């Protein structure tokens, strides 16, 4: 860390925290031997990507869906997510929010354990 970094408040990364990207590096997408089912990441850009998700669910794959590319088009996003939610409901699959812009979808007979949000403590005290 240089003098200017100290003055400007730039900190070195904590050396005790491992670089997760480096730890997760792999030799590509080659699966050997082939698996029965896969977990796949899909970026949702248009309705065609929504259809791709439906096809993948039909192949019994689990989908991690990045919805950030459609975040600026809320009506389209809402329509596509509604279609996916309807499909998972009809096929006994499941859908859940992983992060603000990431959704997980599961195929037939695969359920997601969802935790209920913790109750907020109120400021009033009842005696």
pLDDT for the residue 11: 57
pLDDT for the residue 21: 75
60: alpha, beta or left, given left = phi > 0 and alpha = psi -120 to 50? left
Entry pTM: 0.70
pLDDT for the residue 127: 47
pLDDT for the residue 57: 97
Low-confidence residues in the chain, pLDDT < 50: 127
Domains and CATH numbers, the chain: 38-112 (3.30.110.150)
92: alpha, beta or left, given left = phi > 0 and alpha = psi -120 to 50? left
8 Å CB contact between 94 and 111: yes
């Amino acid at each position: 860390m240089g003098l200017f970094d100290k003055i400007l408040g730039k900190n070195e990364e904590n050396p005790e925290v491992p670089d997760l990207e480096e730890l997760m590096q792999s030799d590509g997408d080659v699966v050997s031997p082939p698996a029965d089912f896969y977990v796949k990441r899909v970026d949702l850009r248009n309705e065609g990507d929504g259809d791709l998700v439906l096809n993948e669910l039909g192949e019994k794959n689990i989908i991690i869906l990045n919805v950030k590319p459609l975040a600026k088009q809320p009506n389209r996003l809402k329509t596509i997510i509604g279609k996916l939610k309807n499909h998972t409901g009809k096929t006994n699959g499941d859908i859940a929010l992983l992060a603000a812009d990431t959704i997980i979808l599961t195929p037939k007979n695969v359920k997601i354990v969802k935790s209920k949000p913790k109750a907020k403590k109120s400021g009033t005290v009842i005696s």
